[in-house]
Amino acid sequence: MLKFKSLQFLYKDGDDDFMAMTSSSLRNDRMELEITKEGDVFSVSVSSNKEITIMKILALFEYEFSEEDKIFLNGYQSWTDSVEHSVSDKMHGISHIPSAIRNKYAFSQYGDYNFSSYGDDMHGWSYGYIRQDDRYSFFGSLAEDSGFTQFITQTGKGFICAQKDCEGLTINGRWQALKLYITEGCEKEVFDGYFRELNVRPRTDKPIFGYTSWYDHYQDIDEDTIKNDLIGLNALTLKADVFQIDDGWQTAVGDWLSVDREKFPKLMKKTADDIKAAGLTPGIWLAPFVCEEDSELFRNNKEWMVLDCDNGYVKGGSNWSGFYALDIYNPEVREYIRFVIDTIVNEWGYKLLKLDFLYAACIVPRPDKTRGQIMADAMNLLREYAGDALILACGVPLASAFGKADYCRIGCDVSLDWNDKPHMRLMHRERISTRNSILNTVFRRQLNNRAFLSDPDVFLLRPCNNSLSDEQKNCLAEVNAMMGSVLFTSDNFYDYTEKEIKELSRIMQIKDAEIVSADLTDDSLTLRFIVGGKKYIKRYSM
């Protein structure tokens, strides 16, 4: 069990610095620091009677690590690799990548590399645990809307740190710094308790099965492609729920009301009508908080961009022609996003929105807002603007999506191969990888049906247009079916032979599996689960 040791607190008042190391509440003529513990909840709040700038808040807990411990620390956003580690493991950042490559591809923007230390100590965000067999020592933040909480394991020293991402935050009044749920128990006990304390429940209880265009065609889509794949769903007796059009329908990322008329001459409403006529829910992809450099939006509305400390435009990454983050506090940006979503949902008729690259909203904090506060505001905007439409959030710090997204991606994009080329495995933690996608699904499985309904990304069973082995395809499909609630594919079912049809039928029968345990040892994943009252053990080569 974690045992509280001390709190490090640093703030600025004008030119004066104040620093304290304390294990109890304290106050002075400028502020009050309150530390409380009630049951399993540990809290730290700061109240000021004048404007002060918070520089650091870190709570230190003692923990006796053992060599048998498995440590899970949740990655920064949907795509960040998130698995159980041994006590001697290390996490790699991007400092080993030549700076010219790092800068060209803006690798730092996808994750936490600009505001986290990568060295001997491992870290994660929002929640984590230490597991010995089936016993969990759990720690999770109950106040991510006031700022993200980073958990750091110092296994050699016997410490776990909980540090608020708040450097430079200006407050005047009361601010909830840390609020942690710390407990022990079996897996079900600790995760049920965490979401009970959060007062979060999924917005929907309806798993979905369907199709997305991305992993067969990528951006190379048009009306005929969509029609052919829609017809392809008829090749199975299984009834799909959703048909989602991914990236490639727009003229540029950010220009969401500018449909590529060469690809979709009848525009997007007609395509949505065709999908509805087939008895399916129309879904569509967009990235509401970014625009690419080649977009009209970027050319004509540069005042809409987030600026860094040097007044440069904040990059979100290197996809497309390079892309930039929009300032969600600009009233014109808000109105644009609202109008885009209203048009897509209420005029075009798309009732499922895959909203991607959401982390871009909070890459840079503000003097009056932490990254966590910005991301909370961003998700609240999307939830308000979407109304009753379903949100499938992607590329998002997960705690910000708890109870707000109907469905949420919990891993990186799958690839058409297993784990990319060896040199690509040295890239950022958010890279595309079928292997990493599977492992994220396994080790974030507890979020499914508690925080939202989890999207593990697609399965691929087709015999063409990928280099996965049969064993790898089956592993992907089985894990997705057992631990996710969004079972999507980009396969055209007319490509299926009798073998793929039988395999799909089989995985549909394990969707209600009860996962007993999951263990990753070297490159072997062992799952224990129950289906129909019968116990199974399955080992996968990773």
- Answer yes or no: is pLDDT of 32 > 90: yes
Q: What is the pLDDT of residue 129?
A: 99
323 neighbors 253 (Cβ within 8 angstroms):
yes
Parallel/antiparallel/unpaired status of strands 486-489 and 208-212: parallel
Give dist(CA 464, CA 293) in Å, integer. Answer: 34
Query: What are the helix (H) ranges across 66-222?
Result: 99-104, 187-198, 214-217
161 band by pLDDT with thresholds 50, 70 and 90: very high
Q: What is the pLDDT of residue 421?
A: 83
Query: What is the per-residue pLDDT across 230-259, written as a single tens digit (0 to 9) for each?
Result: 999 988 888 999 999 999 999 999 999 999
Mean pLDDT, residues 180-199: 98
Domain boundaries in the chain? 3-88+118-198
- In 3-state terms, what secondary structure has residue 362? helix
Q: pTM, whole model, 2 decimals?
A: 0.97
- Answer yes or no: is pLDDT of 522 > 90: no
Q: With pLDDT > 90 as the criterion, what percentage of the chain qualifies?
A: 96
Q: What is the pLDDT of residue 343?
A: 99
- Answer yes or no: is pLDDT of 13 > 90: yes
126 neighbors 372 (Cβ within 8 angstroms):
no
Mean pLDDT, residues 261-288: 98
- Answer yes or no: is pLDDT of 475 > 90: yes
- Answer yes or no: is pLDDT of 347 > 90: yes
- Which range is least confidently modeled, 108-112, 114-118, 417-421? 417-421
